[in-house]
Amino acid sequence: MRVITEFDPWKSRICTCPRKYSFNPYTGCAHHCIYCYSTYIPDFYRLRQKKMLLPRLERDLRTLPENALISMSNSSDPYPPVEKELELTRKAVEMISERNLRLLVVTKSDTVVRDADILERMRSAVSVTITTLSSETASVLEPDAPAPYKRIRALRKIKNSGIPAILRLDPVIPSINDHEIEKLLEKASFVDHVVSSTLKLRGDSYRRMIAAFPELKEKLREMYFREGEKLGNSWYMKKEIRKKILQRVAEKCEELEISYGFCREGLFFKSRSCDGSHLIQ
Ligand code: SF4
């Protein structure tokens, strides 16, 4: 089985991503975010190592066209805590760096800074997801991911190493982190690009959300399942509300002169890519 596959976000017709490949060094994820979109994968919250990862990666890399863009990772985090010891992602990054390819790293972990020495000498960009500045909110939303202040610090170090730095402000969740949009963008105003998106819900993520925030049970049900719309396998808030929320992201980014894009929203943005991959030269 391949470890690098064509990126195909659930065949979403509103995906604006450029053509890219997906590589997840691990199966499952140890960060246990309650809103996670990948939990349709069985036993997803249990992190597993892939058998023969590096030989399979070597084989798949040989099949990619020159200049191909690899996104690492889309449905798990490439830097789970065990990576500090195993260094599988580091070895994979090293292997990718030996070819004429582009790498977009997407993570919630500050461990990515460890690999800046390789990333800075290859064509890469690093996207760090930060949903809140509050450690308390993060401990409920993303209980086993590094604290927000560590992620901000990591993004700054990435930027200082000369690697394009991308803030992923995703998901924006009504009544939980939407009040922080401007503050968060100001805190990360040194980044080169911002990707943002509103929360999408499925049955399982809705159940986890209301278990953590029971006071939002009716509000989320109303906004998503009664007034919202279903696109693909996910429930969205209605377009006017999403537009209003993301307009705030757009306005603040314009004030701070940072490029921005939206992920799977079907909304207009001006930058050359939603995911920030245009920064990888
Ligand atoms: S880091 Fe990403 S893949 Fe991992 S649990 Fe959180 S949302 Fe899911």
pLDDT in tens, 110-131: 999 999 999 999 999 999 999 9
- In this prediction, residue 193 carries a pLDDT of 98
Number of the ligand 1 atom closest to the C-alpha atom of 145: 1
Rounded to two decimals, the pTM is 0.96
Please work out whether the CB of residue 168 comes within 6 Å of at least one atom of ligand 1. Answer: no
CATH code for the structural domain at 4-279: 3.80.30.30
What's the average model confidence in pLDDT over 94-123?
98
Please work out whether the CB of residue 252 comes within 6 Å of at least one atom of ligand 1. Answer: no
- In this prediction, residue 232 carries a pLDDT of 87
| Encoded tokens for 163 | 């690697």
Please work out whether the CB of residue 38 comes within 6 Å of at least one atom of ligand 1. Answer: yes
Helix H, strand E, coil C: the string for the chain is CCCEEECCCCCCCCCCCCCCEEECCEECCCCCCCCCCCCCCCCCCCCEECCCHHHHHHHHHCCCCCCCEEEECCCCCCCCCCHHHHCHHHHHHHHHHCCCCEEEEEECCHHHHHHHHHHCCCCEEEEEECCCCCHHHHHHHCCCCCCHHHHHHHHHHHHHCCCCEEEEEEEECCCCCHHHHHHHHHHCCCCCEEEEEECCECHHHHHHHHHHCHHHHHHHHHHHHHCCEEECCEEECCHHHHHHHHHHHHHHHHHHCCEEEECCCCCCCCCCCCCCHHHCC
- In this prediction, residue 11 carries a pLDDT of 66
pLDDT tens-place string over residues 49-70? 999 999 999 999 999 999 999 9
Q: How far is the CA of 256 from the centre of ligand 1 (A)?
A: 28
What's the average model confidence in pLDDT over 118-145?
98
Please work out whether the CB of residue 208 comes within 6 Å of at least one atom of ligand 1. Answer: no
pLDDT tens-place string over residues 218-261? 999 999 999 999 998 899 999 999 999 999 999 999 999 999 99
